[in-house]
C-alpha cells in the first residue's frame, strides 16, 4: 500500500463534515477549524519525525532534530498562509538518551519557536525503542482566507520559492549550504503571508515529499494538470534531486495569470515554473504533471511504497 | 530522570505566556487557547500509545488499540469539563502491519469517535519499528470555565468516579469486566460536563497514571495536601492496584465543602474519598497525600523512572 491508498481507506470510513465547525479535514496541509464567533480560523497539522526513518543520530545532532521537528510543522502552517500560534510536542525516547541530549533537543526546538513567536503549550512524554517526535502546530488565519492546495485553476501560473534538491544533496553527503538546508530547513512563514495578502495565491502547499509527488497532489486536489517548463535547481544538485528529493520545505503556489510576482521575496527567489492546464477526470490514469511535454512520475517520498 | 524532572527542565526554558491567547500551557491535562472574539475556549491534548510500552499486540487487538488511542485523549478533554470537537492522529507502523490490521484499528477508533461526535480531521503517517499512535484531541468549553487541576482549595471534598484498580487487574490477566476495563476504557465526557455545570467542581483531572501519582500532581498544582480516608476498589483488585495501578481513566475532582453530590451519575458511582488540607510550601518534601493519616508514596506510572 502507498500512503495515498491508506488515506483513501481512512477517508472512505469517515462520516461527512456536517454541522461541524471543521471546515477542511484530511487532505490538505492542515485541518481548518472555525471557532464560533471568532474572526479567525484556526489551522492544525501534525508531523512525525522518527529516528531511522526521517533522521539518523549519526548525522543529526540533537539540536538539529529539535529544529527539524518544529520546522516540519511550521512549514505546513506557512503553506496555509497562516501565522503560527502554538505547538504541542509528543516525544518518545529510548533509555539510552541522556539529559544533555534532551536539553540540546529542546534548545534547537525552542530557538526556532522563539524566532516565529510560537509557544510550546504541552504534549506528552514516553519511552520507546527509537526517538520519535510528533509535533502539533496550530496557526491563525483571517476567516475563510486560508490557502488550500485545491484552489488551482486552469490558466493559473505555477511558482516555487527558493531552489529545489538542496536537502537531497545534503542528505547525499555534500557539505556546506546543502547540509544546512538538510539539517535546518527554514519554514517560509513570512512568504506564506505574502502569498495570501499580496499575491492572492489561488493554491499553496509546502514541498516536503518532492516536487513530483507534491505537485501531483496539488493537481489531484484542484482537478488540473501542471505543465512545467523550468525547475530552479539548488547549486550542485541534480535534476533528479530537484524533482524527487523531498525535504526542501519550499512553497509551491499558483496565482491567476498575469499576476505580477517579484523575482524575490526577502531574498528568497520566486520562480515561475509553468502553467496549470485543464485537468483530466478524477479517476483518469493520465499523468497530471508534464515537464516540457513529457509525463513526470510522482516519485517523491512515500513512506509506505514498497 | 523522572517525567516530572524532564518537564521541569523544559519549563525552565520556556518564555512566559505574555500577550498570548494561550491561557494555560504545560502542566494541566490540556493546554487552553482563547480564539479572539469567541465565546468558547479551546482545549488541546496529545497522548502517545506505543507498542511494547503502553500495549502488546499479543493482548490488544487492533480495534482495542484504536479505541484506547482515542480514549486516552478524550479522557483529558473530559477532565477539563470540555466537549470534544475534533482529533488528529499521527500513526507510525512497522512494515509487518497488514491492511486488515489498519482497517480494524481505524474501525475501533472511529466507533468511539462517532459515539462522542468527534471528527478525525487529519494527522500524519509514517513507517517505524514499533506501532506508535499519537492522538491530538481538541475540545470546546465556555470561555473561562475549563476545570483545572490547580483549583483545589483547603476544605474542598475529594471525589473519584467509578472504582479503581480494574485496569491493573485486567493487565494482570483477570478476565471479564477487568479485561474490558483495561482494553476499552470509557472516557467520562458526560461526567466532565456534569462536574463543570452542576457540581461547580473546583478542580478535576483524569486518573491515567494511578491515584497516588495523579493526586500528588493535583496537590502540587493546587498547593494543598490530600487527606484520604476511603478508596473505592474495583471488584477483585488489590488496594495496591487501586492506588498505583493506572489506566483507569476515571475522574478525580474536588468540590466546595457541603456540595450535594449524588451517589451516582449515569450509573457511575461518585465516591467521596477525603478532604483537601492546607498545603506545605512548594519545595517541601513533606508528603502531599495521606491515607488514614499515613503518607502515600506517588508510585503511579512514570515512564522515565529508572
CATH number of A7's domain: 3.30.1330.10
- Sheet with A40-50, strands from edge to edge, namely A22-24, A31-33, A40-50, A132-142, A83-93, A119-127
Report DSSP letters for A128-195, one per residue: -SS-EEEEEEEEEEETT----TT---TTPEEEEES-BSHHHHHHTT--THHHHHHHS----HHHHHHH
Contacts of B175 by beta carbon, 8 Å cutoff, 6+ apart:
none
pLDDT category of residue A139 using cuts at 50, 70 and 90: very high
A104 in B contact zone (CB under 8 Å): no
The shares of helix, strand and coil residues in chain B, as percent rounded to the nearest 5, are 30, 30, 40
pLDDT of B301 reads 84
What separation in angstroms does the CA of B19 have from each of A5, A85, B36, B63?
A: 43, 12, 12, 43
| A186 and A86 part of one domain | no
Q: Mind listing the pLDDT tens digit for each residue in B232-242?
A: 999 999 999 99
- Output the CA torsion sign for B285, B289, B294, B300: negative
| A190 and A256 part of one domain | yes
Query: What ipTM score was computed for the predicted complex, to two decimals?
Result: 0.93
pLDDT of A19 reads 61
| B184 and B252 part of one domain | yes
Is A194 part of a structural domain of the chain? Answer: yes
Question: Which chain B residues have a beta carbon less than 8 Å from that of A76?
Answer: none
Give the mean pLDDT of chain A: 94
Is the pLDDT at B18 greater than 70? The verdict is no
User: How far is A35 from B33, CA to CA, in rounded Å?
Assistant: 11
| B259 and B169 part of one domain | yes
Is A193 part of a structural domain of the chain? Answer: yes
**A48 to B303: CB separation less than 8 angstroms, yes or no:** no
Is-contact B125 A29, C-beta < 8 A? no
Q: What is chain A's length?
A: 306
- The three three-digit cell numbers of residue A163, written as one number: 531552489
Question: Which chain A residues have a beta carbon less than 8 Å from that of B45?
Answer: 88, 122
| B20 and B120 part of one domain | yes
Q: Which of A92, A114, A142 corresponds to the end of one domain?
A: A142
| B110 and B240 part of one domain | no
User: How far is A121 from A193, CA to CA, in rounded Å?
Assistant: 23
Is A171 part of a structural domain of the chain? Answer: yes
User: How far is A228 from A159, CA to CA, in rounded Å?
Assistant: 10
We report the CATH number of the domain holding residue B264 as 3.90.650.10
> What's the rounded mean pLDDT across residues A54-58?
94
Residue B274's beta-bridge partner residues? B158, B228
Nearest CB to B35 within list A7, A25, A40: A40
| B106 and B61 part of one domain | yes
**B33 to A86: CB separation less than 8 angstroms, yes or no:** yes
> What's the rounded mean pLDDT across residues B172-188?
93
Three-class secondary structure of residue A233 per DSSP: strand
CB count in 10 Å sphere of residue B134: 33
Report DSSP letters for B138-161, one per residue: EEEEETT----TT---TT-EEEEE
Residue from A289, A306, A137 nearest A216 by CA:
A289
Nearest CB to A303 within list B33, B126, B129: B126
**B7 to A52: CB separation less than 8 angstroms, yes or no:** no
Is the pLDDT at B226 greater than 80? The verdict is yes
Is B9 part of a structural domain of the chain? Answer: yes
User: Cα angle vertex A71, ends A14, A101, to 5°?
Assistant: 110
Q: Which of B85, B112, B142 corresponds to the end of one domain?
A: B142
| A73 and A174 part of one domain | no
Nearest CB to A46 within list B42, B88, B140: B88
User: How far is A4 from A189, CA to CA, in rounded Å?
Assistant: 27
A19 in B contact zone (CB under 8 Å): no
Is the pLDDT at A172 greater than 60? The verdict is yes
CB count in 10 Å sphere of residue A262: 10
CB count in 10 Å sphere of residue A243: 25
Residue from B125, B60, B62, B63 nearest B88 by CA:
B125
B58 in A contact zone (CB under 8 Å): no
Residues A51-90, buried b or exposed e (16+ Cβ, 10 A)? bebbbebeebebbbbbbbbbbbbbbbbbbbbbbbbbbbbb
**More confident call, A268 vs A3:** A268
Number of domains in chain A: 2
Nearest CB to A37 within list B25, B37, B128: B37
> What's the rounded mean pLDDT across residues B21-27?
83
Q: Which of B115, B142, B169 corresponds to the end of one domain?
A: B142
Most B CBs within 10 A among A94, A108, A124, hence the mutation to make, goes to: A124
User: How far is A163 from B203, CA to CA, in rounded Å?
Assistant: 53
Is A148 part of a structural domain of the chain? Answer: no
Question: Which chain B residues have a beta carbon less than 8 Å from that of A110?
Answer: 13-14
Question: Which chain B residues have a beta carbon less than 8 Å from that of A44?
Answer: 88, 121-122, 136, 138
Is A147 part of a structural domain of the chain? Answer: no
Residues 223-252 of A with CB under 8 A from B: none
| A137 and A162 part of one domain | no
Q: Minimum mean pLDDT among A8-17, A176-185, B147-156, B165-174: which range?
A: A8-17
User: How far is B89 from B112, CA to CA, in rounded Å?
Assistant: 14
Could you tell me the pTM of the whole model? 0.94
Give the mean pLDDT of chain B: 94
Closest approach of chain B CAs to the CA of A223, in angstroms? 21
Question: Which chain A residues have a beta carbon less than 8 Å from that of B13?
Answer: 106-107, 110
| B195 and B268 part of one domain | yes
> What's the rounded mean pLDDT across residues A201-209?
97
B138 in A contact zone (CB under 8 Å): yes
Residues B142-154, buried b or exposed e (16+ Cβ, 10 A)? eeeebbbbbbbbe
**B85 to A123: CB separation less than 8 angstroms, yes or no:** no
| B251 and B162 part of one domain | yes
pLDDT category of residue B52 using cuts at 50, 70 and 90: very high
Element containing residue A71 per DSSP (H, E): helix A62-79
Is B300 part of a structural domain of the chain? Answer: no
> What's the rounded mean pLDDT across residues B113-117?
95
Is the pLDDT at B19 greater than 70? The verdict is no
Closest approach of chain A CAs to the CA of B111, in angstroms? 10
Share of chain B above pLDDT 70, in %: 98
- The three three-digit cell numbers of residue B184, written as one number: 476499552
| B190 and B253 part of one domain | yes
**B25 to A120: CB separation less than 8 angstroms, yes or no:** yes
Nearest CB to A128 within list B40, B50, B122: B50
pLDDT category of residue A18 using cuts at 50, 70 and 90: low
Closest approach of chain B CAs to the CA of A268, in angstroms? 28
> What's the rounded mean pLDDT across residues B101-129?
95
**A123 to B6: CB separation less than 8 angstroms, yes or no:** no
Is the pLDDT at A97 greater than 90? The verdict is yes
Is A150 part of a structural domain of the chain? Answer: no
Three-class secondary structure of residue B196 per DSSP: helix
Is-contact A255 A202, C-beta < 8 A? yes
Domain span holding position A218: 157-295
> What's the rounded mean pLDDT across residues B180-185?
96
* β-strands A157-161, A268-278 pairing: antiparallel
Amino acid at each position: 500500500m502507498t500512503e495515498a491508498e491508506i488515506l483513501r481507506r481512512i477517508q472512505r470510513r469517515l462520516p461527512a463534515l456536517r454541522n461541524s465547525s471543521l471546515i477542511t479535514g484530511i487532505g490538505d496541509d492542515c485541518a481548518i477549524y472555525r471557532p464560533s464567533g471568532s474572526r479567525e480560523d484556526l489551522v492544525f497539522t501534525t508531523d512525525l519525525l522518527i529516528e531511522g526513518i526521517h533522521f539518523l543520530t549519526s548525522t543529526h545532532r540533537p539540536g538539529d532534530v529539535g529544529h527539524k521537528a518544529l520546522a516540519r510543522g511550521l512549514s505546513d502552517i506557512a503553506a496555509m498562509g497562516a501565522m503560527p500560534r502554538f505547538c504541542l510536542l509528543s516525544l518518545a525516547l529510548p533509555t539510552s538518551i541522556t539529559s544533555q541530549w534532551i536539553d540540546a533537543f529542546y534548545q534547537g526546538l525552542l530557538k526556532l519557536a522563539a524566532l516565529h513567536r510560537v509557544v510550546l503549550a504541552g504534549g506528552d512524554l514516553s519511552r520507546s525503542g527509537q526517538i520519535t517526535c510528533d509535533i502539533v502546530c496550530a496557526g491563525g488565519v483571517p476567516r475563510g482566507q486560508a490557502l488550500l492546495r485545491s484552489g488551482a485553476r486552469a490558466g493559473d501560473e505555477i511558482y516555487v520559492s527558493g531552489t529545489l534538491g538542496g536537502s537531497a544533496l545534503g542528505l547525499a553527503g555534500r557539505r556546506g549550504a546543502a547540509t544546512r538546508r538538510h539539517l535546518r530547513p527554514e519554514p517560509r512563514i513570512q512568504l506564506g503571508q505574502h502569498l495570501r495578502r499580496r499575491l492572492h495565491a489561488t493554491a499553496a502547499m509546502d514541498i516536503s515529499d518532492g516536487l513530483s509527488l507534491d505537485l501531483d497532489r496539488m493537481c489531484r486536489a484542484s482537478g488540473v494538470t501542471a505543465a512545467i517548463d523550468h525547475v530552479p535547481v539548488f547549486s550542485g544538485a541534480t535534476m533528479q534531486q530537484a524533482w524527487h528529493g523531498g525535504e526542501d520545505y519550499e512553497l509551491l503556489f499558483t496565482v491567476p495569470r498575469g499576476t505580477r510576482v517579484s523575482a524575490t521575496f526577502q531574498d528568497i527567489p520566486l520562480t515561475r515554473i509553468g502553467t496549470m492546464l485543464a485537468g483530466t477526470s478524477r479517476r483518469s490514469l493520465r499523468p497530471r504533471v508534464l515537464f516540457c511535454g513529457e509525463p513526470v512520475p510522482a516519485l517523491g517520498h512515500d513512506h509506505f511504497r514498497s
